[in-house]
Structure 1
Amino acid sequence: MFTGIITAVGHIKNAQAKGDGLHLTIETPAHYLEDVVLGDSIAIQGACMTATQLDGNTFSFDISRESLNKTVGLDQVGPVNLEKALRLNDRLGGHLVSGHVDGVGKVAHFSEVAQDTYGSWLLQIEAPKELAPFLAYKGSIVVNGVSLTVNKTTDTHTSCLVDINIIPHTLENTTLGHLKQGDVVNLEVDLIARYVARMLETQVK
């Protein structure tokens, strides 16, 4: 389990073919891996992966073709959001996050809020239509591993537009500041909403 509070920005150093998937090596900030052991889970761009090799400030993991098909940003060199798995005595600063990507969305709009002297930005994500029932005003959504609050939802025939306010701290300490219109992102809906929807579905049947 995770919280969606990014603890570091790492960098994919290389991505080598392995079977039908990839073997990735990620460089992290100094001392980030001091409490990590082989087999630990680390969320990378919101996707939970298992550390299979540790070497100083780098760790490696294998990613399957299925995971590559369901996510973005894990198949090439570049910056990635990192979060270590939640401990039972940790603060839950964001919300309960499983690290299982539910779908891929597209950035429809991303710009600074003109009338906001604080410097916040409006991020609008075009989420897949099937995720719409799990997205609600003031609910939670994970974008590339970052726990964020939904400010507005607009349903269309083919998708659900989600408006999110991004504060300067989040832009500076995650990879979200690199986003631009047209980019694709990993999305995870609220865990509790997913189970509530499933319970309601079975009751109707």
Structure 2
Amino acid sequence: MFTGIITDIGRIVGVEQRGDLRLRIGTAYDPASIDLGASIACSGVCLTVVDKGADWFAVDVSAETLSRTAGDWAAGTPLNLERALRVGDELGGHIVTGHVDGIATVLEVAPEGDSRRITFALPQSLGRYVAGKGSITVEGVSLTVNTVRDVEGGVTQFSVNIIPHTAEMTTLGALTPGAPVNIEIDVLARYLGRMEELRDVVTA
């Protein structure tokens, strides 16, 4: 379980193709504080630590995860990192599971005061769970939805505002139009949507 508050920007420093893809990720985290088997969210993807060194940790990424997530899992790629939530930690963002629901595409990045307004497109099958002033996770970052609208072609567009601090402390500051991003919808919306589907089946 996570909160969507990024605590380090790591970088992939090694890639090895085994049965799964093993990534070695450089980080500022103290290795003594990282347990083997611990969960770390990497740009919104919950991964398990399988090895570690003085300034890195390693994770295995399955073919299933690779097929369902955005980004280039290649050496040099920066990643938003978040350690798993511990009892007593401040819940500064919202409840995030680290299970990516889908991929959105950046449509526009526009200045708005000192901030940036970023507009994304995603399939309406996911867009139905996105609500104005609700929470959403983009590349592991907890954000508030500003606007949301459905457009032709089965697409939902939504926008968020990125303040300078968020742009500096995450990879979102480097986003450009056309970039794919990992999206996790609000977990409450996910369960409410499933309950509604089951209700429709029962009443049909």
How high is the TM-score relative to the length of structure 1? 0.94
Superposed, which structure 2 residues align to 1:1-205 within 5 Å?
Answer: 1-19=1-19, 21-29=20-28, 31-73=29-71, 75-77=73-75, 78-113=77-112, 116=113, 119-156=114-151, 157-205=153-201
CA–CA separation in structure 1 for the residues paired with 2:72 and 2:59: 11
CA–CA separation in structure 2 for the residues paired with 1:201 and 1:125: 26
Bigger drift between 65-74 and 83-92 goes to 65-74
Q: Percent identity?
A: 44
Shift of 1:200: 1.6
CA–CA separation in structure 1 for the residues paired with 2:137 and 2:30: 22
CA–CA separation in structure 2 for the residues paired with 1:83 and 1:145: 8
Unaligned runs of 5+ residues in structure 2 are: none
Unaligned runs of 5+ residues in structure 1 are: none
Relative distance call for 1:33 and 1:125 in structure 2 (3 A) is farther
Paired residue type of 1:120: S
Q: Is the 8 A contact 1:44 1:81 kept in 2?
A: yes
Relative distance call for 1:32 and 1:168 in structure 2 (3 A) is farther
Shift of 1:158: 2.3
SS at match of 2:31: coil
* Pairs aligned (count): 199
Q: Deviations over 1:17-51 (max 9, x none)?
A: 112x311000001x443321000000001000000
Shift of 1:129: 1.8
User: Displaced runs of 4+ in structure 1, greater than 6 A?
Assistant: none
How high is the TM-score relative to the length of structure 2? 0.94
Relative distance call for 1:34 and 1:128 in structure 2 (3 A) is farther
Q: Is the 8 A contact 1:68 1:74 kept in 2?
A: no
CA RMSD of aligned residues (A): 1.1
Q: Is the 8 A contact 1:46 1:145 kept in 2?
A: yes
